[in-house]
Amino acid sequence: MPTIEFSGKQLEVNEEGFLVHPEEWTEDLAAHLACKEEGLDAMTDEHWAVIRFIRGHYEANGSAPMVRSICRTTGVALKRIYELFPSGPARGACKLAGLPKPDGCV
Amino acid sequence: MPELDELEARLARLEPADFERGLAVFRGKLRGAEASYLETCVRCGLCADSCHYFRADHELKSIPAYKLSQVASVFKRHCTVEGRLASALLGAKSFDRAMARTWVEAIFGRCSLCGRCSLNCTTGIHIATVLRAARSALAEMGLVPSDLQSVVTQSLESGNNMGITKQDWIETVEWLEEELQTAVGDPGARIPVDKEGARVLFTVNPREPKFFPLSLQASATVFHAAKEDWTVASEGWDLTNYGLFTGDSVQAGAIADNLLRSMQRLGCRVLIIGECGHGYAAARWEAPEWLGREHGFEVRSFLELMEDYFREGRLKVDPDRHQDPVTLHDPCNLVRHGGVCEPQRTILRRTVRRFVEMIPNRAENFCCGGGGGQLAMARFQAKRVQAGGVKAEQIRRSGAKTVVAPCHNCIDQLMELNREYRLGVSIKTVAEIVADALVFDQPVGR
């Protein structure tokens, strides 16, 4: 199982970079992954709004939210989501929010 | 749980009876002609260059004939008299744990069941069919990689492969209906749900409502422009069927039945499979095999339906909206296996200014690398992206700025290739290209 090093700790990830232990996630890690995994220069307020919502939904429900909920709750327009996260909501935003890889064609 | 160790644990638990059951399933999947294929490979090696895995890594283990030989050697040992009597002479090998591990690596790890080798085999061996039968054997033995199996399990448990609740699905459809009304400027535009007796039942990939709804909105825009009598179903709306990839026909049949029951419940006339390769092959060609009965209705791809609309003059488009060169990917299950090849080309030639074919194309096109369930199996990710290099090169050479892929699974792989190989292209469904070019009639008097 691959690992990534962050803040002096080895974190297990799957071969696609999703955290194996979602409870190890922190906001600092999200910022780190944003740069390393998603190629973002910096996290904006919009990025944080999306990531915090996804994370909160995951912690409450154990699953990723529908993109409709992301848009409605954060006020970020649908097309803007794909600009913010070039890999898309699943491989992009959900990965940065520390979720395990969702099932399905993603 | 580390996937590799977990597979080893499953291998270690195998009993002789498990191997027996696996072999019985394998034999049962092969018709006489396919069994004879196992003896007919002449090692000409032409299949090597037909395979995107081999073209990308040049490893012996990636040559289709090599993968076939691993399966054939077991067949010879256990299913032929001469193989039982003179196994060493004939290269017949026992089906044991080491061989089962070899099968998993070869058939799940280095094959997307794209079938391009079958097409290019000098002796006409249906290699992909044989390898899929071998997947069925592995499924019977409980050796499907767990992340691929979990997609099938999710479909069986929740009715769709992402576990989307009925409420979330309906709310998303309602939201998209509002977006559609705004986009086309018509408060009467609808995405009907459970409309009994509608002519068309439209089915979608769960990743559309969950994460990528623009393609679903584009499809709805096309239906609206064509004034179709259509509906989506509140339950049994997921067109995907990962049972095709695991090879478990019972589970695949149960998933396919979700769509058929929707057709029955709503009394629609045509089941339209949205833009998806494996979903089309599963519903159109495989489901009657799995379920042991014919469909009592038409099953068609959305591409065929859109071509009808153009032929009937129901869609008006302005190709000037798409000035940049556009190329087209051929999803294996839709084109090589499914036979839907020309509708998407007819549509694109009318809808964009510069349509350029990638080379090779149509049935000879290469797999994107994400087929056969590869995208779901994280442990083979590096190999998948490496094998996708062949597709990346095709795209680069086409000079296109937009790649159209009538398959959501392919789109996901292409998105990753776009990043990994820095292609700088945008990736769209056919419906998205059509919707962006649609011209709506102005109401009279304006």
Domain ranges of chain A: 3-96
User: In terms of domains, do B326 and B300 share one?
Assistant: no
User: In terms of domains, do B349 and B366 share one?
Assistant: yes
User: In terms of domains, do B78 and B162 share one?
Assistant: no
Residues B185 and B144: beta-carbon distance below 8 Å: no
Q: Which residue of B has its CA nearest to A82?
A: B212
Q: Do B206 and A104 touch (CB under 8 A)?
A: yes
User: In terms of domains, do B325 and B288 share one?
Assistant: no
User: In terms of domains, do B209 and B329 share one?
Assistant: no
Residues on chain A touching B2 (C-beta within 8 angstroms): 1
- Domain containing residue B208: CATH number: 3.40.50
Going by C-beta distance under 8 Å and a sequence separation of 6 or more, which residues neighbour residue B252? B241, B243, B244, B246, B282, B286, B290
User: In terms of domains, do B171 and B304 share one?
Assistant: yes
User: In terms of domains, do B89 and B226 share one?
Assistant: no
Per-residue pLDDT at B3: 55
User: In the structure encoding, which two tokens stand for residue B427, read together?
Assistant: 């990736």
Residue B248 lies in a domain: yes
User: In terms of domains, do B235 and B367 share one?
Assistant: no
Residues on chain A touching B205 (C-beta within 8 angstroms): 104-105
Q: Do B211 and A89 touch (CB under 8 A)?
A: yes
ipTM, interface predicted TM-score of the complex: 0.94
Catalytic, A71? Answer: no
Residues on chain B touching A1 (C-beta within 8 angstroms): 2-4
B28-62 confidence digits (pLDDT tens): 998 887 888 888 899 999 999 999 999 999 999 99
Per-residue pLDDT at B445: 46
What backbone phi and psi angles, to 5 degrees, belong to B115? 80, 5
Instruction: Give residue B271's domain range.
Output: 157-311
Q: Is B196 on the interface with A (CB under 8 A)?
A: no
Residue with the bigger pLDDT between A103 and B310: it is B310
Residue B151 lies in a domain: no
A28-39 confidence digits (pLDDT tens): 999 999 999 899
Kindly give the parts of chain B with pLDDT less than 70: 1-4, 442-446
- Helix ranges, chain A (H): 27-36, 45-61, 67-74, 78-84, 88, 95-96
Q: Which residue of A has its CA nearest to B380?
A: A15
User: In terms of domains, do B303 and B323 share one?
Assistant: no
Name which of B411, B407, B413, B114 is nearest B273 in CA terms: B407
Q: Scan residues 357-416 of B and list those with Cβ closer than 8 Å to A.
A: 375-376, 378-382, 408-409, 412, 415-416
SS3 content of chain B, % helix, strand, coil (to 5): 60, 5, 35
Q: What's the pTM value of the predicted model, to 2 decimals?
A: 0.95
User: In terms of domains, do B217 and B271 share one?
Assistant: yes
Residue B26 lies in a domain: yes
Q: Sorting pLDDT into bands at 50, 70 and 90, what band is A66? A: very high
* Total tally of structural domains belonging to chain B: 3
User: In terms of domains, do B162 and B281 share one?
Assistant: yes
Residue B410 lies in a domain: yes
Per-residue pLDDT at B368: 98
Per-residue pLDDT at B442: 67
- Residue that is last in its domain, among B143, B171, B193: B143
User: In the structure encoding, which two tokens stand for residue A101, read together?
Assistant: 């890889």
Residues on chain A touching B211 (C-beta within 8 angstroms): 67, 88-90, 106
- Is A3-96 CATH 3.30.540.10? no
User: In terms of domains, do B167 and B272 share one?
Assistant: yes
| Inter-chain contacts counted by CB atoms under 8 A, chains A and B | 85
- Residue that is last in its domain, among B259, B289, B311: B311
Q: Do B214 and A18 touch (CB under 8 A)?
A: no
Q: Given a cut of 90, is residue A104 above it in pLDDT?
A: no
Name which of B93, B92, B105 is nearest B143 in CA terms: B105
- Domain containing residue B367: CATH number: 3.40.50.10700
- Residue that is last in its domain, among B113, B143, B173: B143
For B382, which of A15, A87, A101 is closest by C-beta distance?
A: A15
Q: Å from B294 to nearest chain A CA?
A: 28
Which residue of B144, B210, B385, B412 is the best one to mutate when testing the A interface, meaning the one whose CB has the most A CBs within 10 A? B210
Residue B400 lies in a domain: yes
B199-221 confidence digits (pLDDT tens): 999 999 999 999 999 999 999 99
Per the listing, tokens 């892929």 go with B405
